[in-house]
Amino acid sequence: MRHITNLLKPLSLLALVMTLFGCRSQHDQIHVAPDWVMGGFVRPAGINPIIEPDSSTTFLDPMSGRAVRWEENDTFNPAAVVKGDSVYVLYRAEDKTGVKIGHRTSRIGLAASGDGTNFTRRNTPIFFPAEDSQKEFEWPGGTEDPRVAELPDGRYVMFYTQWNRKVPRLGVAISEDLKNWVKYGPIFGKSKSLPSLVDKSHKSASIVTELVGDKQVVAKVNGKYWIYWGEHGVYGATSDNLIDWEPVLDENGELKAFISPREGYFDSSLTECGPPAVKTDKGILLLYNGKNHPEKGDKRFNRGTYSAGQVLFDANDPTKVLERMDVPFLRPMEAFEKSGQYVDGTVFIEGLVYFQKKWFLYYGCADSKVGVAIYDPANPTNLDPLP
């Protein structure tokens, strides 16, 4: 197994929140992080956003029987995976059938790139609500916020939100080519330990992966597949077959939260799982999305803004937290990250791939566009500056 090494020079945990000499401006101060943190990630100049809404593409919707401009309103919250010599991004696209986010229909589009930054998109979505076994869970809200990873046998597994405008649920699908998918339904649909979970709101699953050579593939933890999931806390679940999952419970038979929102921090409102977690030589690294509480958050960041943090779990006990960032490593800074249908500013991370010896992080920008940031382990740099 190849582990992530040479991230940054080791520093004490205190250095995570300490500022160094020098700053970008009177208010933005540079900060660095301990060696377990991945980054910093650099936004390539003149590239972002890499995917934007397109009103010219149409799709014959099987539910309405009409041609719809399926990616006209917004394109955001992308998954990513490497296939062959290219990066493939699977992004959420919304049409204009509703008046606000969550009230339109979402479908998932596919784009490919030979360099990880310049993408060619398919004209029609590759994943969407249809007259199939998942209609009751996916219509009319759609299929949202995918996370995708490659299996050791070359297949691909996708976790996504099924949104029927009543209850958001985590669904799972598997594909051999990223274009044709088999839907298997809600991941907790056959849970024996907590059968009621399937009818409660749940979303955002990050399956554990590892580098085998230069290929990032799904890994097992203690003999089972493992996901981190949730938005109001980070929880866990295990599976033997990738289809049927059992949540991790505490001694009282309740969901066990490994981390939760913290008053006074950038993740004071939500701690929502990001892209697939990665085994490193330090432990299991989970990148997640933190939402700043309007009243009880970190006053340095905008009210309600989404930024990205990292947490390190024990490799042998994936419920045990070893380290957690107190400040984000990526935050809304560019204009396209602070203007869109989510006006408080958002970098919402969902896609992470190892490609050409670098880590490419794909994220939603203000719930409207897709951006990319790149971490080069051979040339490490600082994290996003603190305000």
User: CA 127, CA 93: separation in Å to the nearest integer?
Assistant: 10
As a whole number, mean pLDDT of residues 359-383 equals 96
Rounded to the nearest integer, the mean pLDDT of the chain is 92
Q: What is the pLDDT of residues 22-63, one digit of tens each?
A: 334 445 666 677 899 999 999 999 999 999 999 999 999 999
pLDDT at 222: 97
pLDDT at 339: 83
User: CA 125, CA 179: separation in Å to the nearest integer?
Assistant: 9
Q: Which residues pair with 246 in a beta bridge?
A: 238
As a whole number, mean pLDDT of residues 75-94 equals 98
The 3-state DSSP class for residue 347 equals: strand
User: CA 211, CA 216: separation in Å to the nearest integer?
Assistant: 4
User: CA 211, CA 285: separation in Å to the nearest integer?
Assistant: 12
The amino acid at 357: K
pLDDT at 99: 80
Which has more pLDDT, 52 or 387? 52
Whether 21 shows a pLDDT value over 80: the answer reads no
Whether 224 shows a pLDDT value over 90: the answer reads yes
The amino acid at 203: K
